Chain A
Amino acid sequence: MSTSDPERNRERDSEATFGDYGGQYVPEALMPALQELEEAYERYVLENEDGFMDEFRERMRDFGGRPTPLQRADRLSERYDREIYLKREDLVHGGAHKLNNALGQVLLAKYMGKERIIAETGAGQHGTATAMAAAHLDMPCEIYMGRTDVNRQRPNVYRMRMNGAEVNPVEAGSGTLKEAINETMRDWATTVENTHYVIGSVVGPHPFPKLVRDFQAVIGREAREQIREKAGRLPDSVVACAGGGSNTMGTFHEFVPDCADPRFANESSGRSPRDDDVALYAVEAGGSSLEIDAEEGLAPNSATLSTGTDGVLHGAMTKLLQSEEGQIMESHSVSAGLDYAGVGPELSYLAETGRVTPVSVDDEAALNGFHRLSRLEGIIPALESSHALGYVEEAHDELGDLVVVNVSGRGDKDLETVLEETEKRDLEAAPEVEVFDRD
C-alpha cells in the first residue's frame, strides 16, 4: 500500500471515513494494531469466519439475555396521547446496552489471540460490561476511569472489581471520560503487541466506529422487527440519548435507510425508499446551559452534535467541544455516561447531512425524565436514557403517532447522584427526597 497512490487512497478513505469524518489519527506505534483489527473485523464480523458471529449471538442470548423486549409504555402513551414504545436495553445482563459491544470485542480479541484486555469507562457501565465479558471469557482485564467518575459511580467500581478487573483511577484534568481515554491509549501504545483496547463507544480510529456500531446494531434490528410485529408498521420517530453515541448508532443503524434520500439507501436491505422518513432524534446532554465559558475553557454541557465544531480527537475527525485554538474543553453532564467532549464520527456525518436530528435537554429535564419513568412505568432508567425521556416530554407533539425510545440502561448506578441532584432542585416529577434515609 502506498498513500501516494490516489486510487488506493480513495478506496481507503471510503472504508475509513463517513464523509469527511472518521479516519485514523493515532501514534504510529498503534497503526499495525489497527490494521490487524481491521482485518479481524472483516474476517470474523463481516464474513463470520470460524463461526465468530454465530458464537457471539449465542453468547448474547444465553449470557447476555437477548433479545430484549420492546414494551408499550401504557401510561406514557396516555400522557402524550400517542403510542410510546420502550426498547428495554436496561434488561441486558449488566444493566445496559454496553454488553453488546464489550462481549463482541472481548470475543474478537480472543479470536485474534490477544492476551489482555484494557478499557476506559465514564459512568462505569462500559467498564462493568467489559469486566463481565472478560471474566466470562477468561481474559485478564484492566479498566481506566477518571477520579471524578470513580467517586460518583462507586457501585460500578465495586462490580468491576467483583468480576476480577483492576480499576485504575485517572487523576488528570477533570477526571472524566476524556482523561480515561487518553490514559487507556497510553497503555495501549505500550502494550499493543499482546493487548486489545475495547473502546466503549462508536468513537476512536477506524475500524472502531464501525465495529462498535455493528455489535450494537442488534438494538435497532430487534426494535425494527418488534415494532412491525406489534404496531404493524415502522415508527414515525426513534429517540435515543447520545454521548459518544454507541446506543444511538446501535438504535439508529437499521433505521437509517428508512428514508427517501438515496445517500442512505442500503442495497443489501432490499428496502424500497420511503416518502416519509423514520425521524431519528439524538438527544444530547444540555447540562446547565448550551453557552460555553470561553475564558475557562468549559462547556457546561456535552452537546457536541448540537454545538461542536469539526476537529480531531482520540483518533478521529469528528465534531468536538473545543476552543477556537483547538484545545478540547471540559464538558459537563449530570450523567457521567454522556460527559464527553467528542462524539462518534458517523453521527457527526448523519447530523451534518440532516439524516439524524441532534437535540438536547438540560440536567433538570433529564432528572424529571428519570423520576417520571420510575413513577409512571416502574422502570428506573439510567440518567443517560433519562435525557431521551426528557426530550419526549418536551417535544412529543413533533414526534408523530408512533415513537420508539431506547432505554439504554437501568439507573441503579445513578441513585446517589439523582438523590443529591434532586435535593438541590424543586422537581415536579420527583418524590419527597426527605423520605430517603441517607445515613
Chain B
Amino acid sequence: MTDDVPSATGEYDSDIEAAIRENHPALITYLTAGDPSLEDTKAYVEALDRGGADLIELGLPFSEPIAEGPTIQAAINRALEAGTTPEGFFELVDELETEAPLLVMTYYNMILQYGDEPDVRPFVERAAEAGLSGIIVPDLPAEEADPLREACDDHGLDLVFIVAPTTEGERLETIMSQVSGFAYVQARLGTTGARADVSTATHESLARLAEYDVPKAVGFGVSEGDHAAEIIEADADGVIVGSALIDIVASSDDPAADLEAKAEELKRGAIRGAETVTVDTEDTPEPEQP
C-alpha cells in the first residue's frame, strides 16, 4: 500500500506520485526495451527524458503479449529476436540516469520466472536494486495481485493497476483501494495502439474516477499533442504514449531526435489542455502544427 512507502519528496507517497503531481500535467512514455537493441533503448530513453517525459515505462518483452496491439507486439518480437533477457534489461536500468522515474511493464510469467523457483520476490528485489520505481503488469488483475503487491510494498515499489472501461462498481472500489503511484486509465476497450481520436470511453472512465484522490493517467491510443490536450482537459493528471513512439523507433532515420521532438509536442499538448481547464479560452495557445 502507498501508506507503507516512505515519501521520496516529503510531500507524496512515492517517486511516481511526486513525478506526476509536481509536473502536472504529466507525460508518461513507453518503449519496449531491446527494440532494436538495449543500447539503442538507452539512447531513446535519454531522448524522451530530455524531451519532457515525466515518467518512463520500459517494457520487458514477453513472447505472448495478449494486451498489446500489433505495433507493440512487433516491437516485442524485435526485442526478443535481438536477444533481450531480464538480466540485460536490469543492466540497462542500472546504467540509466534520467530525471524521470522508471517503471517496468511486463507480463506476470516474466516476473514469476526470475530466480530459481516460480516466485515474485527475486524480480522485485532486483527491480528495486536497479532503481526502478514501480511495476505494471497487464495480465495481473487485483484478484491475483496479493503476492506481488506485498513484495512491492516491502521494497518501496509502486504496483500500478489498470482501470478499464468495463471496470465499475465494486471492482472499481477494490482496485482504487489498492492503487499506488497512479491509476492507469485504459482509454478504450481493446489492445494498445495509436488511434486517430480520443474515445468517449475516456471521458466516462475519468468521470467515474473523479471522486478518488489518486493521480490518473490515460493510455491506449494516445498519439498526438491534441489528444494529450483533450485528455488533460477531461481531468486526467497525465497522458501515456507508447505505440506512437514505437512507430518512430521502427521507421525514423534519427529516432532519438524524433522521439525528443515528439515528447516535446505531447508535453506542450498536455500543458495546453491544462491551461484550457484553468484560464479563459482567449489565452489558449496556438493549435499544434501537424
Residues of A within 8 A of B (CB): 1-4, 9, 12, 16, 23-33, 35, 172-173, 178, 182, 185-186, 189-193, 309-315, 320, 322, 324-328
A-contacting residues, B155-170, CB 8 Å: 161-168, 170
Partner of B64, one of A9, A35, A313: A313
Cβ A326 vs Cβ B171 within 8 A: no
Cβ A24 vs Cβ B66 within 8 A: no
User: Which 9 A-B pairs give the minimum distances between C-beta atoms?
Assistant: A326-B113, A190-B190, A29-B164, A327-B63, A312-B109, A28-B164, A27-B67, A185-B66, A28-B162
Q: Could you list 14 examples of A-B contacts with CB < 8 Å?
A: A1-B170, A2-B174, A3-B143, A25-B139, A25-B140, A25-B144, A189-B190, A190-B190, A310-B118, A312-B107, A313-B109, A325-B86, A326-B112, A327-B63
Interface assignment of B277: CB less than 8 Å from any CB of chain A: no
Most interface-central of B143, B167, B177 (chain A CB within 10 A)? B143
A24-B143, A328-B63 given; A312·B108 CB < 8 A: yes
A-contacting residues, B45-91, CB 8 Å: 62-67, 69, 73, 80, 85-86
Partner of B67, one of A189, A192, A193: A189
Cβ B113 vs Cβ A28 within 8 A: no
Partner of B66, one of A12, A182, A192, A327: A182
Assembly CA distance A27 to B144 (angstroms): 11
Cβ B189 vs Cβ A31 within 8 A: no
- Name the residue on B nearest A2 (C-beta): B174
Interface assignment of B186: CB less than 8 Å from any CB of chain A: yes
Assembly CA distance A324 to B80 (angstroms): 14
Q: Using Cβ atoms and an 8 Å threshold, which residues of chain B touch A173? A: 63
Residue-wise interface mask of B (241-282) relative to A, using a CB-CB cutoff of 8 A (1 in contact, 0 not) = 000000000000000000000000000000000000000000
Most interface-central of B62, B138, B162, B189 (chain A CB within 10 A)? B189
Smallest CB separation, A119 vs chain B (Å): 16
| Additional 5 contacts, C-beta under 8 A, given A192-B189, A313-B64 | A27-B139, A28-B161, A29-B166, A178-B64, A326-B114
Interface assignment of B92: CB less than 8 Å from any CB of chain A: no
Interface assignment of B285: CB less than 8 Å from any CB of chain A: no
Smallest CB separation, B52 vs chain A (Å): 29
Cβ A189 vs Cβ B189 within 8 A: yes
Interface assignment of B146: CB less than 8 Å from any CB of chain A: yes
A27-B138, A29-B164 given; A172·B189 CB < 8 A: no
A24-B141, A193-B166 given; A326·B66 CB < 8 A: no
Smallest CB separation, B137 vs chain A (Å): 9
Cβ B144 vs Cβ A24 within 8 A: yes
Residue-wise interface mask of B (110-154) relative to A, using a CB-CB cutoff of 8 A (1 in contact, 0 not) = 101110001000000000000000000011111111100000000
Interface assignment of B178: CB less than 8 Å from any CB of chain A: yes
Interface assignment of B98: CB less than 8 Å from any CB of chain A: no
Cβ B186 vs Cβ A186 within 8 A: no
Interface assignment of B191: CB less than 8 Å from any CB of chain A: yes
Cβ A3 vs Cβ B174 within 8 A: yes
Cβ B164 vs Cβ A27 within 8 A: yes
Partner of B174, one of A1, A24, A182, A185: A1
Partner of A182, one of B64, B86, B141, B168: B64
Q: Using Cβ atoms and an 8 Å threshold, which residues of chain A touch B109? A: 311-313, 320, 322, 326, 328
Assembly CA distance A186 to B145 (angstroms): 22
- Name the residue on A nearest B188 (C-beta): A190
Assembly CA distance A324 to B114 (angstroms): 8
Cβ B63 vs Cβ A28 within 8 A: no
Assembly CA distance A326 to B64 (angstroms): 10
Q: Using Cβ atoms and an 8 Å threshold, which residues of chain A touch B190? A: 29, 186, 189-190
Q: Using Cβ atoms and an 8 Å threshold, which residues of chain A touch B62? A: 326-327
Q: Using Cβ atoms and an 8 Å threshold, which residues of chain A touch B107? A: 312
A28-B161, A322-B109 given; A189·B191 CB < 8 A: yes
Cβ B67 vs Cβ A3 within 8 A: no
Smallest CB separation, B239 vs chain A (Å): 19
Q: Using Cβ atoms and an 8 Å threshold, which residues of chain B touch A4? A: 146, 177-178
Assembly CA distance A383 to B138 (angstroms): 37
Assembly CA distance A3 to B67 (angstroms): 23
Assembly CA distance A1 to B62 (angstroms): 31
Assembly CA distance A271 to B112 (angstroms): 40
Assembly CA distance A178 to B106 (angstroms): 19
Residue-wise interface mask of B (94-113) relative to A, using a CB-CB cutoff of 8 A (1 in contact, 0 not) = 00000000000001111011
Cβ A311 vs Cβ B138 within 8 A: no
Assembly CA distance A182 to B143 (angstroms): 22
Smallest CB separation, A144 vs chain B (Å): 13
Assembly CA distance A324 to B110 (angstroms): 10
Q: Using Cβ atoms and an 8 Å threshold, which residues of chain A touch B114? A: 325-326
Cβ A3 vs Cβ B139 within 8 A: no
Q: Using Cβ atoms and an 8 Å threshold, which residues of chain B touch A324? A: 113
Cβ A314 vs Cβ B143 within 8 A: no
Cβ A186 vs Cβ B191 within 8 A: yes
Cβ B110 vs Cβ A326 within 8 A: yes
Assembly CA distance A165 to B160 (angstroms): 39
Assembly CA distance A29 to B85 (angstroms): 28
Smallest CB separation, A23 vs chain B (Å): 6
- Name the residue on A nearest B117 (C-beta): A310
- Name the residue on B nearest A29 (C-beta): B164
Q: Using Cβ atoms and an 8 Å threshold, which residues of chain A touch B191? A: 186, 189-190
Q: Using Cβ atoms and an 8 Å threshold, which residues of chain B touch A186? A: 66, 69, 190-191
Q: Using Cβ atoms and an 8 Å threshold, which residues of chain B touch A31? A: 141, 143, 164, 166-167, 171
Most interface-central of A4, A27, A30, A31 (chain B CB within 10 A)? A27
